[in-house]
Amino acid sequence: MSQLPYSHIRILDISQGIAGPYCAHILWQQGAEVIKVEPPAGDWGRYVSTMRGTQSAVSIQFNAGKRGLALDARTEAGQKVLVELALQADVVVQNFRPGVVNRLGIAYETLSALKPDLVYVSISGYGDDGPYADAPATDSVMQADTGLMVSNQDENGIPRRIGLLTADVSTGLYASQALSAALYQRLAKGVGTHVKVNLFEACAAFQGMVFLEHALTGGHRPTGAVTAPNGIFKTSDGVLTVVAVGNEHFARVARALNHPEWITDPRFKENGDRMQHREVLHADIRAILLANTTEHWLKVLASHEVLHAPVRSYDDVIQHPQAMHLGTVGSIEQEGIGHLPYIGLPTKPYRRPAEAAPGIGEHSLQILSEAGIDPAHIHQLVKDGVVVQLNK
């Protein structure tokens, strides 16, 4: 771990859910120490998606490797602990709604006055001011409010939610990149920064190209595939996707499917022609592929260098030959659950093997002791319910 770039960085992650925790977790994978602070009842991310006890797919994926402190920051004693931990950190990550950090005494202005080189990351729904600043924001709300659902509309123009937590995850990625830039500035100039990222702008930035397409087409951006063939086709025992992005690629498809006459067919001469006659072309391909197995077609299509792939299940992806070769899927041993597959950053060499996500308050006493807090005071904090230590 000492060879990873952020091995000297300590992050106090007081965020909940996905975007903030993922931002901090990315730097954990790159070597940082991350202390996760959550209420005694736990981060709300523990109780969404697929759950096992007080862990969920969300809490494990975005908090793996962190150490956990359960702290009631609504109390004066808890707020004092939070400030003390923040002043010992290099980075603070928070995603409270506007105004909450002021009430807790951990606003950037307060902390930076005491620690000028602090890097402070604020993640919000719509930003810290403006007409929507106080509006609640979730992934689904953001997918609707930023056009993501329109970007994912079906061929009949019906907007659809993307079946992933796209808004939250992309915001976490943007936040981690901005945090990295702020840490570089801190190293180069010795100054701290207040990094501000919001889900609304992150989702807009993620779709920048489609806004250009919308403008360039006078508001008539095409939906669905923009080349033909480009579709999902059944074989006798599975499903394949076959794609052509230009005339040469289409010629490969024609030869692979033993229809070289397609190459000179006026209906299929250029992509625009193929798009116009896409239904006919797809129907022909559908009938051909249905007549044999997926394994057969994978060999044929590969031999002609056709753009294609089988439609894989999650289990298939884990067993994908390239995933096995690259070590794409790691594993963790999660307390109370057991062995789980884990996919971390797709970057080498800047990633480390995943470790289990913390239970609620799993490392509370250890963290407070390392922070130099008097043992008698720690005992009182636990007795008063301000701090919770997980008893295994």
pLDDT tens digit sequence for 204-224: 999 999 999 999 999 988 788
CB atoms within 10 A of CB 114: 10
Residues 17 and 101 in one domain: yes
Dist CA 205 CA 186 (whole Å): 26
Establish if 20 belongs to a structural domain: yes
Establish if 66 belongs to a structural domain: yes
The average pLDDT across 355-366 equals 98
Q: Is the pLDDT of residue 200 over 90?
A: yes
Q: Judge contact between 108 and 120, C-beta under 8 A.
A: yes
Residues 280 and 148 in one domain: no
Establish if 323 belongs to a structural domain: no
- pLDDT, residue 1, reads 58
Q: 260: number of CA atoms within 13 Å, CB side?
A: 2
pLDDT (tens digit, 9 = 90+) per residue, 268-294? 999 999 999 999 999 999 999 999 999
Residues 86 and 167 in one domain: yes
Establish if 79 belongs to a structural domain: yes
For residue 360, give the CATH number of its domain.
3.40.50.10540
State the pLDDT confidence band at 335, using cuts at 50, 70 and 90: very high
CB atoms within 10 A of CB 328: 15
Residues 126 and 263 in one domain: no
Domain count within the chain: 2
Residues 114 and 35 in one domain: yes
pLDDT (tens digit, 9 = 90+) per residue, 139-197? 999 999 999 999 999 878 899 999 999 999 999 999 999 999 999 999 999 999 999 99
For the chain, the straight-line distance linking the first and the last C-alpha, in angstroms and rounded, comes to: 27
Residues 156 and 297 in one domain: no
The average pLDDT across 309-332 equals 97
Dist CA 278 CA 271 (whole Å): 10
Q: Which range marks the domain in which residue 76 is found?
A: 10-209+342-388
Residues 117 and 251 in one domain: no
Dist CA 164 CA 151 (whole Å): 14
The average pLDDT across 371-385 equals 98
Dist CA 167 CA 148 (whole Å): 9
Residue 31: enclosing H or E segment and its boundaries? none
pLDDT (tens digit, 9 = 90+) per residue, 146-160? 999 999 998 788 999
Q: Is the pLDDT of residue 2 over 80?
A: no
For residue 234, give the CATH number of its domain.
3.30.1540.10
pLDDT averaged over every residue in the chain? 96
- pLDDT, residue 248, reads 97
DSSP code at position 246:
S
Dist CA 8 CA 13 (whole Å): 16
Residues 114 and 26 in one domain: yes
Q: Judge contact between 42 and 50, C-beta under 8 A.
A: no
Beta bridge partners of 94: 122
- pLDDT, residue 3, reads 87
Provide the pairing of β-strand 387-388 with 67-71. antiparallel
Residues 302 and 161 in one domain: no
Q: Is the pLDDT of residue 116 over 70?
A: yes
pLDDT (tens digit, 9 = 90+) per residue, 219-257? 988 788 889 999 999 999 999 999 999 999 999 999 999
Residues 364 and 261 in one domain: no
